[in-house]
Amino acid sequence: MMAEAGNAAEAVSPAFSLCVYCGSRPGNTAEFAATAQAVGNWIGLHGGQLVYGGGHNGLMGIMADAALAAGARVIGVIPKALVEKEWAHTGCTELHIVENMHERKRIMAERADAFLALPGGIGTLEEFFEVWTWRQLGYHNKPIGLLNMGGFYDSLLTFLNSAVKTGFMNEWQMDLMRTGEDAASLIEALVQAAGTASLTGRLDQI
């Protein structure tokens, strides 16, 4: 099921489409919300499109509201089971209500030129790791970024580097994602990389 709202951003094709994974909670400091707002604002001001999980709660809603306010197209994709839990954002340019998480992630990946993970919980991590795994397996060649604001992901990156040192991962796998502490710089790098990456993956096979 897809609901489409009227939006002036529909008349112009977006310069890029960024899929962002982030928390359905706001976190316990104002910096998290400010970063989510800044990401949505950046996408809109640079003529982009936001693809995200379709919720109105937490960082998801803050980012989507900021993107819409800045003139971006916003594509939300949310499973029926989460419509009430995450409060589906009915203000999205397009809101896709799907049957399950697999369909959600497939549509989000298909509509994106690049991927970015902001702070979040296990849902954010699950989506991020899956799209990273898909790139490793060759299902797509789209840029992937991890925003390590305020060292939020320091422990995770330490663990991943230990997996390399102990032989369970290779350096080239780590090189498939970009990390950074500044949202604007990281998004700009992802968008620039998407211009040269192959945007025709094999997501229909997943």
What pLDDT is stored for residue 199 in this prediction?
Answer: 40
State whether the Cα torsion 145-104-70-73 is positive or negative.
Answer: positive
- In this prediction, residue 11 carries a pLDDT of 56
Q: What is the mean pLDDT of residues 30-54?
A: 97
Per DSSP, the residues of 126-168 read: HHHHHHHHHHHHTS----EEEE-GGGTTHHHHHHHHHHHHTTS
**Whole-number pLDDT of residue 200:** 40
User: Residue 206: what pLDDT?
Assistant: 43
pTM (two decimals):
0.90
Mean pLDDT over 13-24 rounds to 96
What's residue 44's pLDDT? Answer: 97
The tokens for 106 are 């497939």
pLDDT reported for residue 85: 77
| Residue-level pLDDT at 2 | 62
Which residues are paired to 127 by β-bridges?
Answer: none
- Fold exhibited by the domain 14-195: Rossmann fold (3.40.50)
d(CA 198, CA 113): 9
Average pLDDT over the chain reads 91
Percentage of the chain lying above the pLDDT 70 cut: 89
Instruction: State the average pLDDT over residues 60-88.
Output: 93
Convert the pLDDT of each residue in 137-195 to its tens digit.
Answer: 999 999 999 999 999 999 999 999 999 999 999 999 999 999 999 999 999 999 999 98
Mean pLDDT value across residues 108-134: 97
> Can you read off the two tokens belonging to residue 43?
């996408």
